[in-house]
């Protein structure tokens, strides 16, 4: 019992349950194939948790998460819960779990599969072989800064963007280490021409760079970074940025790869416990229709194998299976060309699982 690898699945809302059920099947297959000794459980989060318990992050979910080594999340949110007060909104469930376990290091790779070059909205030569990693600070900045909310007795509402040296250093180290293991290029993104918190961010990153002589650190303003990402994305290898800028830039980077439906993410704390989730949201417009792309969720399982369980070879075989299925021409609707036949969520999931069994 003690050595079991405990995984908590939180399917959440919208397409979350559909893509998570494929990821669960994959975990069961991995457990058998590689004798991983997994213990998989499921819990409530987001709008579904609110509907059933009145809380988007119930205590029971937190307790289960505390007992787990890794958490796999589907997605949260949807129009049904849009009018709830901010404390009850589904997003609070996700933000709460990130904060509770200090999952400060959010890794969002944007890798363009060779098979999907034409799915990108940019020209082939601009994006072919794109392999970019965004390291986003996830538990600080304006998302969590206090004071926040209505200012009593006035007609104003405020949020606070705040970073401590400690927070910048710890995310900086994750990014420098990642850059060291790749091309040795790190671009730190801020808004230092306007925001004091950004000047401080830049100063601390620059200080930290002396610990990493093998990494070439550059800085870029966030508006320029957004533009450069769509102009010449291959100039970047690893980018590091704060919570809000990372939220925005990672969506831009995701689209370079053709579909946000392809991209996984990992959010880690210092013990390597991790929350793994597709970058895509709950996509309420296609929820329950068997149309969602399950590949981001499948690739999130690969990241889980790599970062929390240190099983790089399993991660590689999942990534290879996805690549093989794409090479066979299988597509979900989000990555298909016009008039191409497409597979549903379950069918795409099954293709990947069958391929996993055979490699």
Q: State the binding partner of 55 from ligand IPM, Mg ion, none, CB within 5 to 8 A by kind.
A: none
Min CB(247)–Mg ion separation in Å: 4
Q: State the binding partner of 94 from ligand IPM, Mg ion, none, CB within 5 to 8 A by kind.
A: ligand IPM
Considering only 51, 91, 100, 102, the residue that binds ligand IPM (CB under 6 A) is 91
CA–CA dist 257, 248 (Å, integer) = 15
- Stretch of 89-97, 146-154, 157-165, 226-234 lying at the interface with ligand IPM (CB under 6 A): 89-97
What mask of x and - would describe binding to ligand IPM in positions 53 to 82, judged by CB under 6 A?
A: ------------------------x-----
Min CB(250)–Mg ion separation in Å: 6
The 3-state secondary structure of 277-346, one letter per residue: EECCCCCHHHCCCCCCCCHHHHHHHHHHHHHCCCCHHHHHHHHHHHHHHHHCCCCEHHHCCCCCCCECHH
DSSP-assigned letters across all residues of 3-53: T-EEEEEEEESTTHHHHHHHHHHHHHHHHHHHT--EEEEE---HHHHHHHH
What mask of x and - would describe binding to Mg ion in positions 246 to 265, judged by CB under 5 A?
A: -x------------------
DSSP symbol at 192:
T
- Give how far the C-alpha of residue 295 lies from the chain's centroid of Cα atoms, to the nearest Å: 13
Residues 6+ apart with CB under 8 A from 224: none
Residue among 74 and 349 whose Cβ is closer to ligand IPM: 74
Residue among 13 and 247 whose Cβ is closer to Mg ion: 247
Rule CB under 6 A: say whether 94 interacts with ligand IPM: yes
Min CB(14)–Mg ion separation in Å: 14
Is the bond preceding 194 in cis, omega lying within 30 degrees of 0?
Answer: no
Residue among 64 and 296 whose Cβ is closer to ligand IPM: 296
- Catalytic residue numbers read 143, 191, 223, 247, 251
Answer whether 320's CB lies under 8 Å from 305's CB. Answer: no
> Where does this chain bind ligand IPM (CB under 6 A)?
77, 91, 94-95, 247
């Amino acid at each position: 019992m003690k050595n079991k690898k405990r995984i908590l699945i939180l399917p959440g809302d919208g397409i979350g349950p559909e893509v998570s059920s494929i990821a669960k099947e994959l975990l069961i297959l991995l457990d058998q194939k590689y004798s991983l000794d997994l213990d998989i459980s499921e819990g409530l989060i987001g709008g579904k948790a609110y509907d059933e318990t009145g809380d988007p992050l119930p205590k029971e979910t937190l307790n289960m998460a505390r007992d787990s080594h890794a958490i796999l999340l589907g997605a949260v949110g949807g129009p049904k819960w849009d009018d709830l007060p901010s404390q009850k909104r589904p997003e609070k469930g996700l933000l709460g779990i990130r904060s509770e376990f200090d999952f400060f290091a959010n890794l969002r790779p944007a890798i363009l599969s060779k098979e999907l070059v034409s799915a990108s909205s940019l020209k082939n030569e601009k994006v072919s072989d794109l392999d970019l990693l965004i390291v986003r600070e996830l538990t600080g900045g304006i998302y969590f800064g206090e004071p926040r909310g209505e200012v009593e007795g006035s007609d104003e509402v405020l949020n606070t963007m705040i970073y401590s040296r400690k927070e910048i250093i710890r995310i900086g180290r994750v990014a420098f280490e990642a850059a060291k293991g790749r091309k040795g290029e790190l671009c730190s993104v801020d808004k230092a021409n306007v925001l004091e918190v950004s000047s401080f961010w830049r100063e601390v990153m620059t200080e930290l760079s002396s610990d990493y002589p093998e990494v070439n650190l550059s800085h870029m303003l966030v508006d320029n970074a957004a533009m450069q990402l769509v102009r010449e994305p291959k100039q970047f290898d690893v980018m590091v940025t704060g919570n809000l800028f990372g939220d925005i830039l990672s969506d831009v980077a995701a689209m370079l790869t053709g579909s946000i439906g392809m991209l996984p993410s990992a959010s880690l704390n210092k013990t390597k416990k991790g929350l793994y989730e597709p970058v895509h949201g709950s996509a309420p417009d296609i929820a329950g229709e068997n149309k969602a792309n399950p590949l981001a969720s499948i690739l999130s399982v690969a990241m889980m194998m790599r970062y929390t369980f240190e099983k790089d070879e399993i991660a590689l075989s999942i990534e290879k299976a996805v690549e093989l299925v794409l090479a066979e021409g299988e597509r979900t609707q989000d990555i298909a060309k016009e008039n191409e036949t497409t597979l549903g969520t379950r069918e795409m999931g099954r293709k990947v699982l069958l391929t996993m069994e055979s490699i």
